[in-house]
């Protein structure tokens, strides 16, 4: 039995191919590398029905993942997150078939666990003993914890303004944690210099090829959860954009192996950004193939405060190929939507997930989302990781006091 | 197809039976009510193999749950949490086969979601429109959010010292949240008066019969995850003790319907408490059948700060019946174990879960856990809900600074 059908790596920009059995970072041309599989052999040897009885985590798709040996899998039970109908919120915004894929129900409380699980597993398999990365918080927390489970030493650099809870997660894991008085781009420069100086493995977004394979499993799960079919629209909060690139890659791979029909139109992918940090939206509106650095970026949805993403051209390509779009949401609108989701559905979503619901509302109002379409909003993390987005004035009683109506 | 094999309710103290189609709180004798099923008919009509292909949430066991109609199920995708081997931590404490059942990977980040999902669903089915409950934080958060999804109005009373994040969860859900300058027992008295005065449904621990059925699913899942078998020891952090009672009930029901062998010895159940709040441990050591109010209780493991539990006699009975035991852990020991779990396994557990690992270490050292036994530690929640248990001194760099080795 073949555990993984991994074949090689290739550069989506210049086409150069690389041997997947070696450690690689970026292509010599500076672009991120993508992972290829022997899809023809996979299609002839594995059936989608084989998946059904497997454990409900992302490793159920191991043939489409890069880890060669099950012994190298570093798992905390991540994946197969719930796909929930949210009919009350849907009705509230006029979308009859609205679903939430809830990535808060995963180790470390954010979808970053997927990239970390697969990225760390593959790094371990290829002999990495020490890695470094910049982060807006959640990715660093996930990589720090998975690295601890793998016995890999992690250096994490995050902005001082990143969510405090993610700082604690890194610290408790025993990682080498450093804060920077700046943005994730500043953290990236510090990591870049350390990687050069000390020969660390660079686990920055898209600077190693395997994180995207972990994120891809959101697309695999969505297809399986829709009964090996796809919805009409998927909205995704876009910072680095790895999940959106991954979902697109997943769905194309599933069509190539025949697990979803080749003639089925793929979902229109929507990149949701914050008005205070919208480089992809700007590039989309200007019809460009790459984004520019977005100056003075600021938003309460910290996870999507990424002023320039290395994979921007892949995100824009996925939007074009699927007839999708890009849209920016203001902080006030997303905070309102966070409250709507909690009051109407009992779902305490993260600000980035709330932005996606706000985007769904706007796209339905404009008619871009049509009557009767099946719409999936990706909530990328648990609201409990961002306690400061909720302010509550709560009365305090003494034990002898009574409640009033 | 019968969705639920619910038959009736009974009092474990005086034996009185109740009609399950009516709303009930406590027995007239003051004891909590338990739920009974038509296990004989269930055994003849449902096979455990039927379960395997169902969605990975706790509703896969709907025949053994009280909700009569699937239409009344209020779900956020809870259940089928990971059962993880933790070999490095196990080796560190001399337990060869140590597992963690991770209840942090669930909506609201704590195992309280199970009780809330089933309790709220059944309350909705029986026509409840408004409920009230005291809480140490996590249960209130879960019930507030599930009640919001069900369209039920919730009043939640919690101590001012309860974790702030749980306060935010209640607030964002739109619940009527009130703090009390005291303990959960004080909150309970306030709720009790409000229930009398305003005719609310009392959702306090064990004052309604269905929460325990939700918690029971931890036992059902453990059996399925062990291939319809059981481990030798299960350690459980015990405040109200509902989960321990529920796991015991689940395993006995599974034996009754033949899904686990009738001759198989059930796991020895261990009630883990904090040294600062150990009423069950005291009663166990004194050989009593009930506990006494534990005065001036205090522990960092807030979820198990319950000075007197209504179901204490059921917990003590479960310990006796399974040859289990009760053990108390100091705050320092549990904080050390929280760090061990994160550094060795990448698992950021809650303080209550950490107490359970500390208990496993102590019981292995004393020989109570024998060579080669399979030991399950229940981590009842995500560490991210308790940011104050980790203190990190983190260096802050300027963007132009460099990392040192």
Residue in chain B nearest A168 by alpha carbon? B390
B176 has which bridge partners?
B155
**B157 and chain A in contact, CB less than 8 A:** yes
Residue in chain A nearest B110 by alpha carbon? A105
Closest by alpha carbon to B170, among B183, B187, B153, B192? Answer: B153
What angle do helix axes A138-150 and B331-345 make, rounded to 10 degrees?
90
Cα–Cα distance between A73 and A120 in angstroms, integer? 9
Provide the pLDDT for residue A114: 98
Distances (CA, A) of A35 to A10, A21, A32, A317, B111: 7, 12, 10, 17, 38
Provide the pLDDT for residue B383: 95
Distances (CA, A) of A278 to A204, A292, A304, A369, A393: 20, 10, 9, 21, 33
Report the SS3 class of residue B299: coil
Provide the pLDDT for residue B163: 87
Q: Would you call A105 and B108 a contact, using CB atoms and an 8 Å cutoff?
A: no
Residues A47-94 pLDDT 10s: 999 998 899 999 999 999 999 999 999 999 999 999 999 999 999 999
Residues B237-292 pLDDT 10s: 999 999 999 999 999 999 999 999 999 999 999 999 999 999 999 999 999 999 99
Provide the pLDDT for residue B1: 87
Residues B247-259 pLDDT 10s: 999 999 999 999 9
Residues A105-158 pLDDT 10s: 999 999 999 999 999 999 999 999 999 999 999 999 999 999 999 999 999 999
Q: Does the pLDDT at position A272 exceed 90?
A: yes
Provide the pLDDT for residue B404: 86
Provide the pLDDT for residue B131: 98
Provide the pLDDT for residue B386: 87
Q: Would you call B105 and A106 a contact, using CB atoms and an 8 Å cutoff?
A: yes
Provide the pLDDT for residue A225: 98
Closest by alpha carbon to B83, among B360, B339, B377? Answer: B377
Would you say residue B396 lies in a domain? no
Q: Would you call A403 and B155 a contact, using CB atoms and an 8 Å cutoff?
A: yes
Q: Does the pLDDT at position B39 exceed 90?
A: yes
Least confident window among A18-22, A167-171, B49-53: B49-53
Provide the pLDDT for residue B272: 98
Would you say residue B273 lies in a domain? yes
Provide the pLDDT for residue B53: 87
Q: Answer for the pair A314, A12: CB distance below 8 angstroms, yes or no.
A: yes
Q: Does the pLDDT at position B56 exceed 90?
A: yes
Would you say residue B338 lies in a domain? yes
Q: A101: domain CATH number?
A: 3.40.50.1100
Residues in B closer than 8 angstroms to A106, CB to CB, are: 105
Closest by alpha carbon to B116, among B154, B136, B145? Answer: B145
Provide the pLDDT for residue A391: 82
Contacts across the A-B interface (CB distance below 8 Å): 246
Would you say residue B197 lies in a domain? no
Would you say residue B137 lies in a domain? no
Mean pLDDT rounded to a whole number for chain B = 96
Provide the pLDDT for residue A390: 86
Q: Answer for the pair B122, B145: CB distance below 8 angstroms, yes or no.
A: no
Would you say residue B337 lies in a domain? yes
Provide the pLDDT for residue A41: 98
Q: Would you call B403 and A344 a contact, using CB atoms and an 8 Å cutoff?
A: no
In total, how many domains does chain B have?
1
Least confident window among A383-387, B142-146, B224-228: A383-387
Most B-contacting residue of A337, A346, A385, A402 (CB-CB within 10 A), to test interface: A346
Q: What is the CA radius of gyration of chain A?
A: 21
Q: Would you call A107 and B105 a contact, using CB atoms and an 8 Å cutoff?
A: yes
H runs (alpha helix) in A127-267: 138-150, 164-172, 184-198, 211-225, 242-256
Q: Does the pLDDT at position B55 exceed 90?
A: yes
**B395 and chain A in contact, CB less than 8 A:** yes
Q: Of chain A residues 294-353, which have a CB less than 8 A from chain B?
A: 338-339, 342-348
H runs (alpha helix) in B66-108: 87-93
The DSSP string of A17-85 is EEETTS---S-TTSPPPEEEE-HHHHHHH--GGGTTTS-SSGGGGGGGSS-S-GGG---SS-----EEE
The domain containing residue B283 runs over which residues? 83-109+213-386
Distance to chain B for A10, nearest Cα, Å = 32
Q: Would you call A396 and B179 a contact, using CB atoms and an 8 Å cutoff?
A: yes
Most A-contacting residue of B53, B191, B346 (CB-CB within 10 A), to test interface: B346
Would you say residue B282 lies in a domain? yes
**B77 and chain A in contact, CB less than 8 A:** yes
Would you say residue B314 lies in a domain? yes
Provide the pLDDT for residue B152: 98
Provide the pLDDT for residue B393: 86
Q: If you average pLDDT over residues B140-151, what whole number do you get?
A: 98
Q: Would you call B399 and A182 a contact, using CB atoms and an 8 Å cutoff?
A: yes
Helix (H) or strand (E) holding B84: strand B83-85
What percentage of chain B exceeds 90 in pLDDT?
A: 95
Q: Would you call A405 and B165 a contact, using CB atoms and an 8 Å cutoff?
A: no
Provide the pLDDT for residue A393: 86
Q: Answer for the pair B339, A173: CB distance below 8 angstroms, yes or no.
A: no
**A190 and chain B in contact, CB less than 8 A:** yes
Residues in A closer than 8 angstroms to B307, CB to CB, are: none
The DSSP string of A377-397 is EEE-BBGGG-GGG------EE
**A401 and chain B in contact, CB less than 8 A:** yes
- Number of Cβ within 10 Å of residue A52's Cβ equals 11
């Amino acid at each position: 039995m073949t555990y993984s059908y991994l074949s090689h790596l290739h550069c989506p920009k210049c086409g150069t191919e690389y041997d997947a059995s070696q450690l690689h970072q970026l292509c010599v041309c500076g672009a991120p590398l993508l992972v290829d599989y022997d899809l023809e052999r996979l299609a002839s040897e594995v059936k989608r029905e084989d998946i059904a009885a497997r454990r409900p985590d992302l490793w159920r798709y191991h043939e489409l993942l890069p880890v060669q040996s099950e012994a190298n899998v570093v798992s905390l039970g991540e994946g197969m997150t719930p796909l929930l109908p949210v009919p009350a919120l849907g009705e509230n915004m006029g979308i009859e078939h609205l679903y939430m894929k809830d990535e808060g129900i995963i180790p470390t409380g954010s979808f970053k666990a997927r990239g970390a699980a697969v990225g760390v597993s593959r790094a371990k398999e290829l002999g990495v003993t020490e890695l470094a990365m910049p982060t807006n918080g959640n990715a660093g927390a996930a990589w720090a914890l998975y690295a601890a489970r793998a016995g890999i030493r992690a250096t994490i650099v995050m902005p001082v303004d990143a969510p405090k809870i993610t700082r604690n997660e890194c610290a408790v894991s025993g990682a080498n944690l450093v804060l920077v008085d700046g943005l994730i781009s500043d953290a990236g420069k510090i990591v870049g210099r350390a990687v050069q100086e000390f020969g660390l493995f660079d686990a920055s977004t898209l600077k190693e090829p395997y994180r995207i394979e972990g994120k891809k499993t959101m697309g695999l799960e969505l297809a399986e959860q829709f009964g090996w079919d796809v919805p009409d629209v998927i909205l995704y909060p876009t910072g680095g954009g790895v999940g959106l690139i991954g979902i697109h890659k997943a769905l194309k791979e599933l069509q190539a192996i025949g697990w979803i029909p080749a003639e089925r139109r793929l979902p229109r992918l929507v990149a949701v950004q914050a008005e205070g940090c919208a480089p992809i939206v700007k590039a989309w509106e200007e019809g460009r193939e790459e984004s520019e650095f977005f100056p003075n970026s600021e938003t309460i949805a910290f996870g999507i405060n990424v002023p320039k993403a290395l994979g921007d051209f892949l995100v824009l390509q996925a939007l074009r190929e699927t007839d999708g779009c890009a849209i920016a949401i203001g902080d006030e609108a997303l905070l309102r939507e966070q409250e709507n989701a909690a009051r109407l559905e009992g779902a305490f979503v993260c600000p980035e997930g709330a932005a996606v619901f706000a985007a769904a509302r706007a796209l339905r109002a404009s008619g871009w989302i049509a009557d009767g379409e099946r719409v999936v909003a990706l909530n990328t993390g648990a609201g409990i990781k961002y306690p400061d987005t909720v302010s509550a004035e709560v009365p305090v009683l003494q034990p002898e006091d009574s409640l009033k109506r």
